[in-house]
Structure 1
């Protein structure tokens, strides 16, 4: 299948994504109220047997066990066959069972209030949003106490973070001038007073020629300040400023740094007047600057620690949250090894100390630049309703698939219980000769918006202004189970970011039309459990499963076909010693038993298929997106993502974009009328020539960049 390049059109009032979320049910359902009620594995009163099925790939498919030399090839099992591993099928069936049976995926709360068995990580996210004009940036500026005029954050203090036996403390720095806990110094000033003093460790963001542009830059900044109310002029001036700085940029070689220095400052103004090597001038401290941002010129000085101030202990959970954030922001790997070039952001090693910035108001926040990333007060699982997450006992899914270290109250104390799975999954092997799809061999990137993207991952009013969007504070709700939209095309991603080379790899899929055959074995299930397992595999008529890598781009849409159920006849097996002891049965019969019983027992007779959770799930598993609608089912680009628009829910998704198109067509109708009138305008020819020239110049600039 030949990949398609998506024509990206301007978005309307909503966000778009190749995925959406199936909402959690209002309340989780329990199948077994006591551990003792679970069927014993040596008791064969229930149903045992297997389900045989085939999977037909409707789009190219790639299932792999890993990356080698940035190449991803299809999995080959121990039989030497191309196959979808049994564990992959198991994972899909288990997730589907959880959704279809309202199973609690959070687990139980322990004595410390933690959810150790939760399938959703109970993260406490950190964030920074200084430039936005939304609900998050408003909160960020409030916590930092940002004074835009003075370009300072009033609540931010400076000090040193120290590691004592893997416990972390902050030693506050001396406040040499009241209200000035640290000093800011412009790179132009720093170049002028420090360039010829052989101070080790200073990294400059711009070339030395920056000094020659001092007068011009000052004039532009003055003009920007004058034109705060003229946004068009302000944008023009900022663009001019950045253009000058871009030509002087040291971005390719610059690295964030911290280095010991001595300095002098003007006690009246608080300005730095001299810098030298450590111990030469009257005050000692650290000079530092964080990551490169075009337009940024600030370096900072943290005075030495104040021996008279008490230390501030950093809670272990805050250290763990900071480490998680380093991993999330691609500065550290899961083994807690800092990536090369990101050492500036690492926590100090044992007995080491580093300059740090912190806020210690309602809670402690810390980071290595003044505009630090700060903690949300809530964690992810605060966004899950109590009726769903605080459900003890055993769900349908745990009863079928088993569990380990499940926390249960027994004789007045919490104990861990284990239960072995009653199902097993064979590899689904390719039928016939596998055919590699050369057309869809492509390079993709493992990157997408993460749960920190609150406009996508939290429930929002679809028409909410970005200033009113829910964040991980107050009364928020997470969206639910992430699922990918199905597509009848393969999208070719546009990869231009050279910085993400380490995240790119090339996939080698099998062709659409490939058929796989597999089996699911089950032991001692009751009729409801067998029905749930069968429904999780087959879903409803017209539904598909999606399997493997690159699902956002349309890979891995499969049709479940030729499903056959075989149940053991124990009389034949043991009384007649027959080797042919399986009877074929009707799986749909058990699926209907499950649906009917579930509706009667847990929904007061309401049909389970009329519950929003199930309607959402079946819609996203049956709706196949056509190429003409691709614009609404793609990843957003960075400039689109910055707009912080809400992602409509599954059941309202199509309707939202229909409304969007109607509004857009009305607007374009008005534009068309204006254009028809403009043709008789005397300046029509000149105005269109100006537009044509603008496009021509833009194209020339683009081509120049390509040649470079």
Structure 2
């Protein structure tokens, strides 16, 4: 089986940039002006426009009938690089509670939820006796119901060492030897319940307390299950149903005399100990958390702006990108059914999480470890220019892929960047983020933008063709000297600044700069770049890795680029 390289990797976080108060766009002591840029596509590119029909057909974004790249797309790409290069905050960060289904089956017990008069919650452990292939209504002489007291006979033979009911009778009958209670359970979530059934619960004298934080975690699980697939009204109905726990039959994992986790079916999902935000907080003591105050802004939030938190904390950016317009002659758009894009899997911790220790067993860490932290900022590798990477082999439109208008390689766009009141070092960062310190149309360091990055779309080279800078304050000074318009001059100022922030370390040896260059270099890698093969069945690779104890952590950018480390197919 061939080895492969995961489509994305991570740029490490270095030393956080110093946070300072915002700079008003109305102050005129800095540099203002215009940067003119060219963007050349290296691989086919797709920028989403209007959707058609069943939303599986998407046109290319156009301005006046011609393909274009909106300023918002450009700004997102440039800001992402600028944040990684300058060690700015994670301005766009989705705090996630990772939901999983890893609780060992045999560590679970059955019980009934109970709330006492003081509002405290408990699970009363019960023996769960399986009810299967029995006509309950005929044996009981009435319709079965949740909480109904019954008598029963049971024998060994159920799964997980449980007994199974062979006969059941009304509670006042003397024909069966044991007493219990019928407890209903559902497979699936309302209103899409796959099946309903009953268990007989035989009481015991053992109870376990359910602490408030455990119920809160259960609520997080329910919200995670409901949020992606239901409208608001249906969501509330599901939550009400699932949160009505008093008297519910549940499965749980005990921890001494308390409950560690619980759910309404034996294969319930649970939430990892720490959220992604908590793991981000551990990197340099929270130095990369999103900026929230205009008095404490990182390098990029001062440059590009931020919404902040709370009243009057918004900050306007001092950089404005214009739409990129295509040149007169360009390759014809192609109707292409894309390969299945797949999706990132943050819950797969060997890819997303690393350890804060110098060494860890096999280099692995998880969302349950007290010293784990996020790997860094996600970027996608450049693919070879072979278009077969992007196309669905038989060009059939299924329920997991889309048909798009694809713009082939060698298309040329132009756009302008206008800036106001920047310090020289800020202009240097902006120029670095645009041309990646490789201001050559045939250079080997390039951006990724648009849709389809995991399958090789969106590689593009940006070149700065002109810089016009002036100081507004000098307009009224007849003898003032004109600012330097040399691109390398300002990039050099930024490089010197970053070296000083990193204790004099050479610019090309600063960890985040090393990783950024490794992942954005267009030179070919040692193996194919793809999600785990075979195509369309990558989930099997993740399932096998999980069963085998997560043996393969994600190689870092340097290991992938310089040491030819890959992931192994099974």
In which range does the TM-score fall when normalised by the shorter chain? Answer: 0.7 to 0.9
User: Offset of 1:333 from its aligned partner?
Assistant: 4.7
1:383 to 266, 279, 287: 279
Change (3 A) 1:571 1:382: closer
Instruction: Show the 5 A alignment for 1:96-245.
Output: 96-105=81-90, 119-129=92-102, 140-141=103-104, 146=106, 153=107, 155-160=108-113, 172=123, 175=126, 180=127, 182-185=128-131, 190-191=132-133, 193=135
Name structure 1 gaps, 5 residues minimum. Answer: 1-8, 106-117, 130-139, 147-152, 163-167, 203-257, 408-414, 577-581, 665-708
1:373 equivalent in alignment to 2:269:
yes
Question: What is the rounded CA distance, in whole Å, between the counterparts of 1:199 and 1:83 in structure 2?
Answer: 72
Counterpart check, 1:608 vs 2:550: no
Residue 367 of structure 1 deviates from its aligned partner by 1.9
**1:570: Cα distance to partner?**
3.9
* 1:642-675 CA distance string (max 9 Å, x none): 22322111001145546999xx9xxxxxxxxxxx
Residues 125 and 321, structure 1, Cα contact 8 Å, conserved in 2? no
| Aligned counterpart, 1:550 | 452
Q: Which runs of 5+ in 2 are unaligned?
A: 157-162, 190-194, 439-443
Aligned counterpart, 2:516: 617
1:44 is displaced (CA, Å) by: 1.0
Residue 12 of structure 2 corresponds to which residue in structure 1?
23
Rate the CA distance shift 1:299–1:441 in 2: closer, same or farther, 3 A.
same
User: How far does residue 376 in structure 1 lie from its aligned partner after superposition?
Assistant: 2.2
Shift of 1:501: 5.8
* Distance in structure 2 (CA, Å) of the matches to 1:477 and 1:350: 32
CA 1:513 to 1:369, structure 2 compared with 1: closer, same or farther past 3 Å?
same
1:573/1:464 CA distance change after superposition, 3 Å: closer
Kept in 2, the 8 Å contact 1:285–1:304? The answer is: no
Give matches, 1:312-331, under 5 Å.
Answer: 312=210, 314-315=212-213, 317-326=216-225
Task: Give, in angstroms, the shift of residue 335 of structure 1.
Answer: 4.9
Residue in 2 aligned with 1:266?
153
Matching residue of 1:403: 306
Q: Secondary structure at the match of 1:455?
A: helix
**Residue 589 of structure 1 aligns with which residue?**
489
Q: How far off is 1:511 after superposition? A: 1.8
Q: Secondary structure at the match of 1:595?
A: helix
Q: CA deviation at 1:507?
A: 2.1
In structure 2, the CA distance between the partners of 1:569 and 1:473, relative to structure 1 (3 Å rule), is closer
Rounded to whole Å, the distance in 1 between the matches of 2:436 and 2:463 is 11
Matches within 5 A, 1:515-664: 515-541=412-438, 542-568=444-470, 570=472, 585-600=485-500, 602-625=501-524, 629-636=526-533, 637-641=538-542, 642-643=544-545, 644=550, 645-657=552-564
Q: RMSD over aligned Cα, in angstroms?
A: 4.6
Q: Where in structure 2 are the equivalents of 1:43-122 lying within 5 Å?
A: 43-65=27-49, 67-68=51-52, 69=54, 70-77=56-63, 79-105=64-90, 119-122=92-95
The 2-side partners of 1:350 and 1:590 are apart by 58
Provide the residue aligned with 1:288 in structure 2: 185
Change (3 A) 1:260 1:363: closer
Find the residue that maps to 1:122 and give its secondary structure.
coil
Whether the 8 Å CA contact 2:111–2:249 is kept in 1: the answer is yes
Normalized per residue, which structure has more strand? 2
Structure 2 residue matching 1:417: 3-state secondary structure = coil
Partner SS state of residue 357, structure 1: strand
Higher helix share: 1
Distance 1:611 1:200 in 2: 75
Deviations 1:250-305 (A, max 9, x none): xxxxxxxx98877643378653123699999975433435369xxxx997626499
**Structure 1, residues 125-161: CA drift from partner, whole Å, max 9, x if none?**
23223xxxxxxxxxx43xx6x2xxxxxx3x4333359
Q: Determine which of 351, 367, 370 is the counterpart of 1:456.
A: 351
TM-score by length of 2: 0.76
Cα deviations across residues 434-465 of structure 1 (Å, max 9, x unaligned)?
54442x71144453241100111122799987
C-alpha contact 2:48 2:59 (8 A) present in aligned 1: yes
Tell me the distance in 2 between the aligned counterparts of 1:503 and 1:200: 47
Q: Find the aligned partners of 1:305 and 1:76 in 2 and give their Cα distance.
A: 68
Q: Post-superposition shift, 1:630?
A: 4.6
Structure 1 residue 479: Cα displacement: 1.0
Task: String of CA shifts for 1:386-417, please: whole Å, max 9, x gaps.
Answer: 5252478321111101223358xxxxxxx873
Per-residue deviation, 1:313 = 6.5
Indicate if the aligned counterparts of 1:19 and 1:633 stay in contact, CA closer than 8 A: no
Q: 1:314 Cα shift?
A: 4.7
Q: Does 1:301 align with 2:254?
A: no
Aligned to 2:33, the other structure's residue is in SS state: strand
Query: When the two structures are aligned, how many residues end up with a matched partner?
Result: 515
Distance in structure 2 (CA, Å) of the matches to 1:156 and 1:563: 68
Alignment TM-score, normalising by the size of structure 1: 0.62
Distance 2:556 2:252 in 1: 38
CA contact (8 A) 1:464 1:646 kept: no
* Contact kept? 2:5, 2:567, Cα under 8 Å: no
Is 1:469 aligned to residue 364 of structure 2?
A: yes
Alpha-carbon shift at residue 584 of structure 1 (Å) = 8.5
Distance 1:562 1:632, change over 3 A: closer
State the Cα distance separating 1:617 from its structure 2 match.
0.4
Report if aligned partners of 1:286, 1:304 keep a CA contact under 8 Å in 2.
no
Question: 1: CA distance between counterparts of 2:318 and 2:220?
Answer: 37
Contact 1:423 1:523 in 2 (8 A): yes
2:192 match: none
- The answer to whether residue 25 in structure 2 is matched with residue 41 in structure 1 is yes
CA distance in 1, matches of 2:285, 2:114: 40
Q: 1:304 to 1:508 in 2, by over 3 A?
A: farther
SS in 1 for 2:5: coil
Contact 1:263 1:274 (8 Å CA) reproduced: no
Mapped to 1, the partners of 2:496 and 2:136 lie a distance apart of 79
Mean CA deviation greater in 639-648 or 87-96:
639-648
